[in-house]
Amino acid sequence: MQIYFHGHSCFEIVGNAGRILIDPFLTGNPSTTAKPEDFTELDAILVSHGHSDHLGDAIQLSMQTGAPIIAVFELALYCQSQGAKTHAMHLGGKHLFPFGWVKLTQALHGSGIEDPEGGNMIYGGPPCGFLIQIEEKWLYHAGDTGLFGDMELIGRRHPLAVAMLPIGDNFVMGVEEAVHASQLLRPKVVIPMHYNTFPLIAQDVGEFEHLLQRRAPESQVKALKPGEMFEV
pLDDT at 58: 98
| Residue 113 included in any domain | yes
Report yes or no on 231 lying in a domain.
no
Asked whether residue 20 carries a pLDDT value surpassing 90, the answer given is yes
Query: Is 86 a member of any domain?
Result: yes
Helix runs in the chain, H state only: 52-55, 58-65, 73-81, 151-157, 175-185, 205-215
Contact, 148 vs 106, CB < 8 A? yes
Does residue 105 form part of some domain?
yes
Q: Give the phi and the psi of residue 152 in degrees, each rounded to 5.
A: -65, -40
Write the CATH number for 52: 3.60.15.10
Instruction: Tell me if 192 sits within 8 A of 167, measured CB to CB.
Output: yes
The whole domain housing 22 covers 2-225
The number of distinct structural domains making up the chain is: 1
Looking at the domain assignment, is residue 131 inside a domain? yes
The answer to whether 23 touches 36, Cβ cutoff 8 Å, is no
pLDDT tens for 22-61 read 999 999 999 999 999 999 999 999 999 999 999 999 999 9
Tell me whether residue 130 is in a domain: yes
Q: Choose among 166, 214, 168, 174: nearest CA to 192.
A: 166
What pLDDT is stored for residue 28 in this prediction? Answer: 96
Average pLDDT score, the chain: 97
Strand, helix or coil for residue 71: strand
Maximum CA extent, the chain: 49
Residue 230 lies in a domain: no
139 falls within a domain: yes
pLDDT tens per residue, range 134-186: 999 999 999 999 999 999 999 999 999 999 999 999 999 999 999 999 999 99
